[in-house]
Amino acid sequence: MDKLTLLQKYFGHTSFRAGQEQAVDALISGRDVLGVMPTGAGKSICYQLPAMMLPGVSVVISPLISLMKDQVESLRQTGIPAAFINSTMTLDEYQRIMQEIRRGQYKLIYVAPERLLTESFLFLAKNIRISMITVDEAHCVSQWGQDFRQSYLDIAVFVENLPERPVIGAFTATATSQVCSDVIRFLKLNEPERITTGFDRKNLYFAVETPKYKTKALLSQLKKYKNKSGIVYCLSRKLVEEVCDELRNAGFAATRYHAGLSAEERAVNQEDFLYDRKTIMVATNAFGMGIDKSNVSFVIHYNMPKDIESYYQEAGRAGRDGEPAECILFYSGKDVRTNNFLIEQSRENNEIDNLALRESLNAKAKERLKSMTIYCTSVECLRSYMLRYFGETASHHCGKCSACMGKTEKKDITLEAMKIISCVYRGQQNGYHLSRTLTSQILTGSTRKVLLDMKLDRLSTYGIMSDCSVAEVLQMIDAMIASGDIGVKPYKDYSELVLTQDSAAVIRMEKQVEIQVAKKTSEPDILDNVSDEEEAMFQQLRKLREKFAVREHVPPYVIFSNAALRDMCRRKPRNKHEFMEVSGVGAMRTEKYGAAFIKEISKFL
């Protein structure tokens, strides 16, 4: 079959998305590919479709077990023979799958990079025909990437051990130009077809908020989403526990996920979320990579992540079905300090023996953290900042982020910045090493005993910002740190504020200082943009989808994505021919489910 026929039959699409056809054509012609495509752009079709067209088997190297299981379940639903090999399998299951691979029963085999050079898998690979190797999450091979994995350096060694070199496709959602160069070099790609479809996810709304009380802000935010599915990311296991308990006590169907839980509980909680038994997942960044749940309507970061790459990838788990979705980040200066601490801890506990390499990775992590902090405190369009970070040109007004939609506004704090700089200067003159917290307390005229005992109330800057709260001054200091108007350096067991060249420019009134502050707005929720009739039909179809999901023991979105159900509501198909035209359906799903869904739509009408 030709590629378009296969695309319709197995994936239910009549045309390719941006970059997909280019990748498919390159791989089936034997040319390596480097694809940088955002989450939700359809990377998997770029290698799953060629796997059906090439002889022999295709090996997909994937870093997480959850991705393998999810992808294989979805492929089997479409009629594509696929299997995975990972540590969750029993010896009997492993031996059975290995025998079936030898007999040529599969077109796609998912495997973790750690398994490539094991004796049994390498022996198998040398004795079967491997036409294509796909490296998913390819940024993991680069020390400049946000998730460097030593095992990814084994991929090139594995390929060199094969009797014949297969075509190689490397795909990632997040990669700067430096990371792309590393991917080509370390995977030894041969003049690859380079495909970058753009990082702009137009269906996503981005916002940064600086709430005084995060839990209160979170509960208020979640009330908007009704029964929609979403993820709340937290920086620590302790916070995951606390936030999950708060949500449950408030009546939300929430579950949790972090590395401190047993493998059994993580599996149960993840399944509850995937099967929509729980609508909210509260998790650390241990959750999500490779989770192919399409109907996530919101992602809320309770804390600022460590870098733009992580944030973009985690936020990008919203709206994979193309429906409008929201990505909200709750920022506080404490998040910066916590991330700095985690970076230092990572350096100490890193399994990499090479000290110079550990130090290099640490320095790069801190550079990425600085860029993330600037994003959170910037006065410019959030989407524009992110796109430019990944090397794309972008408009300075996207019209779909908190900065552009009037939910925040610029505030000139040049006068306040001069007072902050003066306080740091006066402190230095008097032999003090002021932290950001102590500086804010001096400026607001705090009467804390520790401050008075240190005689900091005698500084000329004491109380000159008494009309502001400590939290407001801290927000200003964080914005100034991010923009370089004031600096920080280690002192004993904390960081002290120091002056920079830009500090002098602010004092001389040669530089203006601005921050973004929240503005009250009565704008409607962008998620509530469907008619009452369509929403009622959608809910009926969801119930029918749930019945099939329970019967077949698969997550509901594996049956049909939310986007497919929405398209059914718009098209209202009355026969199988019309049902085939629904986006994301295809021949296999039409045969399996078409009659039941057409009947349900007819009943509703």
DSSP letters of 50-74?
HHHHSSSEEEEE-S-HHHHHHHHHH
Statement: residue 525 has pLDDT above 60 = no
pTM score = 0.64
Domain ranges of the chain: 3-196, 204-407, 410-518, 532-604
Give 410-518's CATH code, choosing from 3.40.50.10540, 3.30.70.1560, 1.10.10.10, 3.30.1120.10.
1.10.10.10
Residue 146 or 582, more confident: 582
Distance (Å, whole) CA 35 – CA 448: 56
Mean of per-residue pLDDT scores for the chain: 86
pLDDT of 399 = 83
Report the 10 Å Cβ neighbour count for 92.
8
Q: What percent of the chain has a predicted confidence (pLDDT) above 90?
A: 41
> For the chain, what is the radius of gyration of the CA atoms?
26
* Nearest Cα to Cα of residue 172 among 148, 203, 140, 204: 140
Residue 214 three-state SS: helix
* Nearest Cα to Cα of residue 35 among 194, 219, 159, 213: 194
Distance (Å, whole) CA 317 – CA 295: 9
Structure tokens that stand for 484 in this block:
């370089």
Structure tokens that stand for 150 in this block:
């030593």
**Where residue 526 falls among pLDDT bands split at 50, 70, 90?**
very low
**Where residue 566 falls among pLDDT bands split at 50, 70, 90?**
confident
Q: What is the pLDDT of residues 229-276, one digit of tens each?
A: 999 999 999 999 999 999 998 899 999 999 899 888 988 998 899 888
Q: What is the pLDDT of residues 267-290, one digit of tens each?
A: 899 889 988 899 999 999 878 655
* Nearest Cα to Cα of residue 558 among 42, 69, 14: 69
Distance (Å, whole) CA 277 – CA 92: 31
Distance (Å, whole) CA 229 – CA 286: 19
pLDDT of 61 = 93
Report the 10 Å Cβ neighbour count for 458.
10
Statement: residue 524 has pLDDT above 50 = no
Q: What is the pLDDT of residues 37-65, one digit of tens each?
A: 877 668 889 999 999 999 999 999 988 77
Which of 10-19, 314-323, 409-418, 513-522 has the weakest average pLDDT? 513-522
Phi, psi of 526 (to 5 degrees): -70, -15
Q: What is the pLDDT of residues 143-177, one digit of tens each?
A: 776 677 888 999 999 999 999 999 999 998 877 88
CA 63 to chain centre: 15
> 290: number of CA atoms within 13 Å, CB side?
20
User: C-alpha distances in angstroms, 449 versus 129, 265, 433, 468, 542?
Assistant: 75, 46, 18, 20, 60
The reply to whether CATH 1.10.150.80 applies to domain 532-604 is yes
* Nearest Cα to Cα of residue 249 among 273, 218, 276: 218
Statement: residue 291 has pLDDT above 80 = no
Residue 77 or 600, more confident: 600
Q: What is the pLDDT of residues 412-457, one digit of tens each?
A: 899 999 999 999 999 999 999 999 889 999 999 999 998 999 999 9
Helices (H), 140-283: 154-160, 177-186, 214-222, 237-249, 263-274
Residue 115 or 521, more confident: 115
* Nearest Cα to Cα of residue 48 among 86, 100, 11, 103: 11
pLDDT of 530 = 54
Backbone dihedral region of 42: left (phi > 0), alpha (psi from -120 to 50 degrees) or beta?
left
Distance (Å, whole) CA 433 – CA 601: 70
- Distance separating the N- and C-terminal Cα atoms of the chain: 37
Any idea what DSSP says for residue 451?
H
Structure tokens that stand for 469 in this block:
């709260």
Cβ atoms of 183 and 34 closer than 8 Å: yes
Backbone dihedral region of 349: left (phi > 0), alpha (psi from -120 to 50 degrees) or beta?
alpha
Statement: residue 208 has pLDDT above 50 = yes
Q: What is the pLDDT of residues 462-491, one digit of tens each?
A: 999 999 888 789 888 888 887 889 988 888
Statement: residue 304 has pLDDT above 90 = yes
Residues 6+ positions from 348 with CB-CB distance below 8 Å: none
Statement: residue 523 has pLDDT above 50 = no
Residues 6+ positions from 55 with CB-CB distance below 8 Å: 129, 131
Q: What percent of the chain has a predicted confidence (pLDDT) above 70?
A: 93
Cβ atoms of 426 and 463 closer than 8 Å: no
* Angle of the 436-443 helix axis to the 414-429 helix axis, nearest 10: 110
pLDDT of 522 = 45
pLDDT of 146 = 63
Q: Are strands 280-283 and 229-233 parallel, antiparallel or unpaired?
A: parallel
Residues 6+ positions from 213 with CB-CB distance below 8 Å: none
Distance (Å, whole) CA 595 – CA 154: 48
Strands (E), 249-358: 254-257, 280-283, 296-301, 325-330
Give 204-407's CATH code, choosing from 3.40.50.300, 3.90.1520.10, 3.30.200.20, 3.40.50.620.
3.40.50.300
pLDDT of 519 = 61
Same fold, 3-196 and 204-407: yes
| Three-class secondary structure assignment of 254-269 | EEEECCCCCHHHHHHH
Which of 203-207, 214-218, 233-237, 517-521 has the weakest average pLDDT? 517-521
Residues 6+ positions from 335 with CB-CB distance below 8 Å: 235, 303, 304
Q: Are strands 193-196 and 33-36 parallel, antiparallel or unpaired?
A: parallel
Question: Cα dihedral angle (123, 126, 132, 138), rounded to 10 degrees?
Answer: 50
| CATH code for the domain defined by 3-196 | 3.40.50.300
pLDDT of 28 = 94
Q: Which residues pair with 207 in a beta bridge?
A: 328
User: C-alpha distances in angstroms, 514 versus 325, 327, 461, 464?
Assistant: 29, 24, 21, 19
User: C-alpha distances in angstroms, 412 versus 344, 385, 415?
Assistant: 34, 20, 8
Mean pLDDT across 376-402: 83
pLDDT of 352 = 58
Structure tokens that stand for 82 in this block:
């696929």
Statement: residue 528 has pLDDT above 50 = no
Mean pLDDT across 494-520: 85
Residue 525 three-state SS: coil
pLDDT of 438 = 92
Cβ atoms of 486 and 420 closer than 8 Å: yes
Statement: residue 192 has pLDDT above 80 = yes
